[in-house]
């Protein structure tokens, strides 16, 4: 046996999990480009939605926070955390905690008895007792069916972009009403593009507008978890995933929807005052009209634009993990595309674990966010006892 655990993915969850396992003496291998999704699938000029402390990648000794990063490197930034600085922080975390990361893609995972055989892109094979899937949301961008037959030259997902300056002087329709959509509209406007946001919700929800609620000392600690996920009261509840998962399923689902509904950070509002935002509206049909995209909305109006950006989020579907062999896919128990997980974030296949967003159906909305690394690392250790 080569390792006690192999981690697939070197983003915040993968790096944090590796740090916790190494600290307990486990033999760990981790594969993937550090901070790949953040570096290659988010637009320059973006800022994190989470607050300062909730943007820390968890480590077992709390010595690799944003504050430690700034003290060690001389970097200077504040909340909201700029994307480029968070990427630099993640790479610094990796160098400090998991310098042995190998930037190789895992192409195949198969189970042989009580072991897993993992094949890498260079043909190398390694074995392990456990495999931890930490690939983040990269496999799961969701594109509404109305756009399936349109060319990528004219319709893209928000995760397809790192540089929105290419749309300078163009008319761009952004579909969605969450942080990605509003960030894209703000950045596009800054580059001189003409942007419009179309969203199905009735209002734009803004977070961070009631900062005074976080400055009430003991009262704030009762209302809010330091993980900064969800509104007052609910935040404290989702901060305890092992308690949250014991709630009736219907209650879990309602709280998850409330906690993860599309929202933007309040500081963006002044930058969007000149951006048309059409709410309570869906795109009914889309087609190419010459070199432009013609859209028919369900409010009876039409748009003719140069490009459409789908900031429509991500939908977990384990069938999209191309590296999972057919036998694993057939054996893995799932609900709505999410793997069913138990103690130690372990799936129905013994030794196969999932962290990050795929764990959210079993352990709640905290696992959708970077602050969920504070739960995932210690929880994984429960399976290694």
Q: Give a three-class secondary structure readout of the chain.
A: CCEEEEEECCCHHHHHHHHHHHHCCCCEEEECCCCHHHHHCCCCCCECCCCCHHHCCCCCCCCCCHHHHHHHHCCCCCCCCEHHHHHHHHHHHHHHHCCCCECCCEEEEEEECCEEEEEECCCCEEEEEEEEECCCCCCCECCCHHHCCCCCCCEEEHHHCCCHHHHCCCEEEEECCCHHHHHHHHHHHHCCCEEEEECCCCCCCEECCCHHHHCCCHHHHHHCCCCCCCCCCHHHHHCCHHHHCCCCHHHHHHHHHHHHCCCEEHHHHHHHCCCCEECCCCEEEEEEECCEEEEEECCCCEEEECEEEECCCECCCHHHCCCECHHHHHHCCEECCEECCCHHHECCCCCEEECCHHHHHHHCHHHHCHHHHHHHHHHHHCCCC
| pLDDT value of position 187 | 97
Q: Which stretches of the chain drop beneath a pLDDT of 70?
A: 1, 209-217, 219-220, 222, 385
Over the stretch 72-88, which tens digit does the pLDDT of each residue have? 999 999 989 999 999 99
Query: Residue 214's pLDDT is what?
Result: 57
**pLDDT recorded at residue 207:** 83
Residue whose tokens read 């009209």 = 289
pLDDT at 222: 62
Domain 145-205+262-310 coded CATH 3.30.1600.10:
no
Specify whether the CB–CB gap between 145 and 284 falls below 8 A: no
Residue 216's pLDDT is 60
Where does 3-140+314-381 sit in CATH, by number?
3.50.50.60
pLDDT digits (tens, 9 = 90+) for 41-74: 999 999 999 989 999 999 999 999 999 999 999 9
Residues of the chain with CATH 3.50.50.60: 3-140+314-381, 145-205+262-310
Q: What is the pLDDT of residue 309?
A: 98
């Amino acid at each position: 046996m080569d390792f006690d655990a192999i981690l697939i993915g070197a983003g915040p969850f993968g790096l944090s999990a590796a740090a916790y396992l190494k600290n307990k003496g486990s033999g760990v291998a981790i594969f993937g480009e550090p901070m790949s999704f953040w570096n290659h699938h988010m637009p320059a000029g973006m800022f994190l939605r989470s607050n300062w402390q909730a943007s820390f990648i968890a480590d077992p000794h709390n010595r690799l926070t944003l504050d430690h990063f700034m003290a060690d490197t001389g970097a200077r930034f504040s909340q909201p955390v700029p994307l480029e600085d968070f990427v630099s922080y993640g790479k610094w975390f990796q160098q400090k905690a998991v310098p042995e990361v190998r930037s190789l893609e895992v192409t195949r995972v198969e189970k042989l008895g009580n072991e897993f055989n993992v094949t890498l892109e260079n043909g190398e094979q390694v074995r392990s007792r456990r495999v931890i899937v930490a690939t983040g949301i990269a496999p799961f961008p969701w594109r509404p069916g109305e756009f399936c037959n349109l060319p990528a030259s004219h319709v893209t997902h928000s995760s397809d972009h790192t540089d929105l300056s290419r749309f300078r002087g163009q008319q761009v329709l952004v579909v969605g009403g969450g942080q990605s959509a509003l960030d894209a509209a703000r950045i596009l406007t800054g580059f001189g593009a003409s942007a419009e946001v179309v969203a199905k919700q009735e209002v734009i929800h803004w977070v961070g507008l009631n900062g005074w609620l976080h400055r009430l000392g003991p009262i704030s600690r009762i209302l809010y978890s330091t993980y900064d996920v969800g509104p007052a009261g609910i935040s404290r509840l989702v901060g305890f995933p092992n308690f949250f998962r014991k709630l009736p399923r219907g209650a879990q689902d309602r709280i998850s929807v409330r906690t993860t509904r599309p929202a933007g950070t309040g500081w963006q509002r002044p930058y969007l005052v000149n951006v048309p935002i059409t709410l309570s509206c869906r795109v009914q049909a889309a087609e190419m009209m010459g070199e432009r995209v013609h859209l028919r909305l369900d409010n009876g109006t039409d748009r003719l634009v140069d490009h459409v950006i789908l900031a429509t989020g991500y939908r977990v579907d384990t069938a999209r993990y191309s590296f999972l062999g057919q036998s694993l896919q057939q054996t893995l128990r799932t609900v709505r595309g999410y793997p069913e997980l138990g103690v130690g974030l372990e799936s129905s296949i013994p030794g196969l674990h999932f962290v990050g967003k795929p764990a959210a159906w079993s352990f709640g909305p905290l696992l959708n966010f970077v602050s969920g690394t504070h739960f995932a690392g210690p929880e994984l250790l429960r399976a290694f006892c």
